[in-house]
């Protein structure tokens, strides 16, 4: 028995936290679905300056429903603890995509593969 579905699902999450005398945070998520594909992107960045500078930026994503699903996550954190104003920077990006819907073998008959004359070899 074969099941098929024509639903693609993508969800994205982004979070940025900063602690310090001067802080900036930004998190953005975007999704797109159409033509048998769904794509999502999340980006987050946190910058803090001061004696207690600390940052955290995280992103994540989930794609479901396609035959080919890919994802990539990159995280980077840079701290400059020396000097009169320590600085901390954190960045994170996540990309997910899924492609194709339904039963990809639904248009093909597999009954001939079990017969004794498979490509004339038997």
Burial classification of residue 45, based on how many CB atoms lie within 10 Å of its CB (0-12 exposed, 13-18 middle, 19 or more buried): buried
pTM: 0.76
Per-residue pLDDT for 2 more than 50?
no
User: What average pLDDT does range 86-99 have in this prediction?
Assistant: 96
Per-residue pLDDT for 50 more than 70?
yes
CB burial of 13-23 (b: ≥16 within 10 Å; e: otherwise) equals ebebbbebeeb
User: What average pLDDT does range 21-29 have in this prediction?
Assistant: 96
Measured CA to CA, the distance from residue 39 to residue 50 in angstroms comes to 38
Q: Do the beta carbons of residue 50 and residue 20 sit within 8 Å?
A: yes
């Amino acid at each position: 028995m074969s099941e098929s579905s024509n639903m693609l699902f993508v969800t994205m999450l982004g979070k940025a936290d900063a602690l310090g005398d001067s802080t900036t945070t930004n998190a953005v998520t975007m999704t797109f679905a159409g033509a048998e594909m769904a794509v999502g992107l999340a980006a987050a960045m946190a910058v803090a300056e001061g004696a207690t500078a600390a940052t955290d930026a995280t992103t994540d994503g989930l794609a479901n429903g396609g035959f080919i699903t890919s994802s990539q996550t990159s995280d980077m954190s840079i701290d400059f603890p020396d000097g009169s104003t320590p600085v901390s920077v954190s960045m994170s990006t996540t990309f997910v995509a899924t492609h194709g819907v339904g039963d990809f073998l639904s248009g093909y008959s597999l009954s001939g593969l079990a017969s004794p004359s498979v490509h004339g070899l038997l």
